[in-house]
């Protein structure tokens, strides 16, 4: 582990959470700063490995804690045969929040959820509002089925505009998408759609710069690559839950402030769907930030603009507290 910025807080640890050892990575400049718990995407895609690429400035105003969830990253490596369900994930998250509140002497924590983490974070925020200072959704998932349908139509639209006959044939070969149920056929089709979307910079794909970022991480170990390769198998039950998830079917009432930071070129979790849902939200305070020239990896694509959005949120909430 390399603390290149000589941070006051730079901790890797395994904590017993809900019966198993789970990995936490803390980084910050001041113990008095508010604590932000980063909920990674996937499910199974531990973003602690990418923290160095986007969060240096965050640490000036927050203590940022990355948690490798059950079935992901270093937690999966430590517990290779223990797979998550949505219920175990929520129990894990509750225990993690309690641990952080005690460690940093805080009454509440900030939850930032990215992609799948936005599903977990939203459910938790609705269930335990007393634990959450405020919630930030990035690549916010409202309905996976709607996301896939809209994302598919967007890449098809661009392929038609570009007269890209090869891509149109590949899309036609995929057939009905996303389909009517969660099964292996959907997972195969989804992988193909992601690769096509990646060609048009509409979704995250495993590009060389992305892979290089993993190897540059101060917390990287070779076992992290193995964990990534096992993520889909480990998270099958959670993926099935995600497939049928639909926030539109639930109340839009929130007891805590809600903020969305969305990439204007995100068609993996299409920003237009999240934007439409956000407009219906009733919350003590709320705000939406659209980041230009940014896709699903919003904070990596535009780190400065993303930080400016976080700074604005922090300033607003500091005045309200």
List all residues 6 or more positions away from 306 whose beta carbon is below 8 Å from its beta carbon: 54, 261, 291, 294, 298, 299
pLDDT digits (tens, 9 = 90+) for 254-285: 999 999 999 999 999 999 999 999 999 999 99
What is this structure's pTM? 0.95
Q: Compute the mean pLDDT over every residue in the chain, rounded to the nearest whole number.
A: 94
List all residues 6 or more positions away from 76 whose beta carbon is below 8 Å from its beta carbon: 44, 68, 70, 227, 230, 231, 234
| Domains and their CATH numbers in the chain | 9-143+223-320 (3.40.50.1820), 146-199 (no CATH)
Tally the C-alpha atoms within 13 A of residue 235's C-alpha that lie toward its C-beta.
Answer: 28
| pLDDT tier for residue 95 given thresholds of 50, 70 and 90 | very high
CA neighbor of 224 nearest in space, from 47, 106, 81, 84: 47
DSSP secondary structure string, 245-259? -BGGGS--B-SS-EE
Rounded Cα distance between 207 and 263, Å, is 19
pLDDT digits (tens, 9 = 90+) for 188-204: 999 999 999 989 989 87
| pLDDT tier for residue 320 given thresholds of 50, 70 and 90 | confident
| pLDDT tier for residue 207 given thresholds of 50, 70 and 90 | low
Sheet holding 9-17, edge to edge: 9-17, 20-28, 63-68, 35-39, 109-114, 132-138, 258-263, 286-291
Task: Return the pLDDT at 208.
Answer: 64
Handedness of CA 182, 70, 127, 31 (dihedral sign): negative
Task: Return the pLDDT at 5.
Answer: 65
pLDDT digits (tens, 9 = 90+) for 2-57: 556 678 999 999 999 999 999 999 999 999 999 999 999 999 999 999 898 899 99
Task: Return the pLDDT at 1.
Answer: 46
């Amino acid at each position: 582990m390399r603390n290149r910025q000589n941070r006051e807080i730079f901790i890797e640890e395994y904590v017993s959470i809900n019966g198993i050892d789970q990995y936490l990575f803390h980084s910050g400049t001041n113990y008095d700063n508010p604590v932000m718990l980063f909920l990674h995407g996937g499910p199974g895609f531990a973003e602690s490995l990418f923290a160095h690429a986007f969060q240096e400035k965050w640490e000036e105003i927050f203590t940022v804690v990355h948690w490798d969830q059950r079935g992901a990253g270093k937690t999966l490596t430590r517990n290779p045969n223990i797979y998550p369900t949505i219920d175990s994930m929520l129990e894990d998250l509750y225990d993690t929040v309690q641990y952080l509140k005690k460690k940093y002497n805080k009454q509440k924590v900030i939850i930032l959820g990215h992609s799948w983490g936005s599903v977990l974070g939203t459910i938790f925020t609705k269930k335990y509002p007393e634990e959450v200072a405020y919630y930030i959704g990035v690549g916010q998932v409202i309905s996976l089925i709607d996301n896939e349908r809209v994302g598919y139509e967007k890449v098809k639209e661009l392929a038609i505009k570009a007269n890209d006959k090869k891509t149109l044939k590949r899309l036609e070969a995929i057939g009905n998408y996303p389909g009517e149920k969660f099964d292996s056929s959907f997972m195969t089709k989804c992988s193909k759609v992601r690769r096509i979307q990646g060609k048009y910079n509409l979704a995250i794909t495993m590009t060389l710069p992305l892979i290089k970022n993993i190897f540059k991480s101060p917390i990287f170990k070779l076992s992290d690559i193995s964990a990534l390769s096992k993520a889909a198998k480990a998270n099958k039950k959670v993926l099935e839950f995600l497939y049928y998830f639909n926030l539109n079917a639930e109340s839009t009432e929130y007891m805590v402030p809600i903020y969305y930071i969305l990439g204007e070129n995100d068609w993996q979790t299409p920003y237009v769907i999240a934007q439409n849902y956000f407009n219906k939200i009733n919350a003590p305070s709320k705000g939406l930030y659209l980041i230009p020239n940014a896709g699903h990896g919003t904070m990596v694509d535009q780190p400065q603009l993303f930080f400016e959005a976080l700074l604005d949120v922090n300033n607003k909430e500091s005045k309200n507290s």
